[in-house]
Copies of this chain bind each other. A is one copy, B any other.
Amino acid sequence: MSEPEVLDGRQQRGRDTRAHIIAAATEQFCESGYRAGSLRDIAARAGMTHPGVLYHFPTKEALLMAVLERRDQMGALDNPVRSELGREALRSMVGAAEKNETQRALVELFATLSAEATNADHPAHDYFVGRYERLLASLIGAYEVARDAGDLVEGVDPEVAAAQLIALLDGLQVQWLLGTLPAPMGRIVTAHLDAQLREPLH
């Protein structure tokens, strides 16, 4: 993305501790959320003091953004929404939901954060707006492709359906975290999609 090139020993080392700090911060934010997770805790996890962390990331806010961006990079690799696949793109969301059931801490972070970030003053507000817009656009695309391929039940509006699917996934996570979900997320999402598709998944 930026400068690949040759990096001398110091740059390499800097990069390493940066990554190390991000990992520590991710853990911390996952366990305690953004506001409650202090720089001192994060620093301790990374084996340094909190001004050491602030040397690499000028503010706590910057650290948060770094955590989120890194998370996105990784997520984007194994979980893109390939709109052009239409029906199969929708199917992949079931897999995403099931995968989340194995990453409780991460789910907790995003659930907490996306709610916090609802406030326009929150540092991650723009990030989440952008994230939701992109996801929405992708899913609308996927539904449109599915519709044009004749895979959709009559009366399913791609825009509405896309917003529904995102909401469903988000909302289910809260219930799952609270332990009040009466069935596995995968099954619930599958049931939702099956009601929109001419041929059920599988």
Which of A51-59, A77-85, A127-135 contacts its partner? A127-135
Residues of chain B contacted by A181 (CB below 8 angstroms): 163
**Given A160-B191, A182-B160, A195-B195, A175 and B132 contact (CB-CB distance below 8 Å):** yes
| Beta-carbon contact of B33 and A136 below 8 Å | no
Q: What's the Cα separation between A157 and B114 when bound, in Å?
A: 30
Residues of chain B contacted by A33 (CB below 8 angstroms): 116, 119
Q: Is the interface of A mostly helix, strand, loop or mixed?
A: helix
Which of A12-20, A42-50, A63-71, A165-173 contacts its partner? A165-173
A187 at the interface (CB under 8 A from B): yes
| Beta-carbon contact of A174 and B170 below 8 Å | yes
| Beta-carbon contact of A188 and B174 below 8 Å | no
A76 at the interface (CB under 8 A from B): no
Q: Which residues of A, 172-188, contact B by the 8 Å Cβ criterion?
A: 172, 174-175, 177-183, 187-188
| Beta-carbon contact of B192 and A118 below 8 Å | no
A-B contacts, 17 listed (Cβ < 8 Å): A108-B118, A112-B115, A112-B118, A125-B178, A128-B178, A129-B178, A129-B179, A159-B182, A160-B182, A160-B183, A160-B188, A161-B191, A162-B182, A164-B191, A167-B172, A170-B170, A195-B196
Q: What's the Cα separation between A196 and B196 when bound, in Å?
A: 10
Q: What's the Cα separation between A116 and B32 when bound, in Å?
A: 9
Most chain B Cβ neighbours within 10 Å, of A128, A140, A161, A172: A172
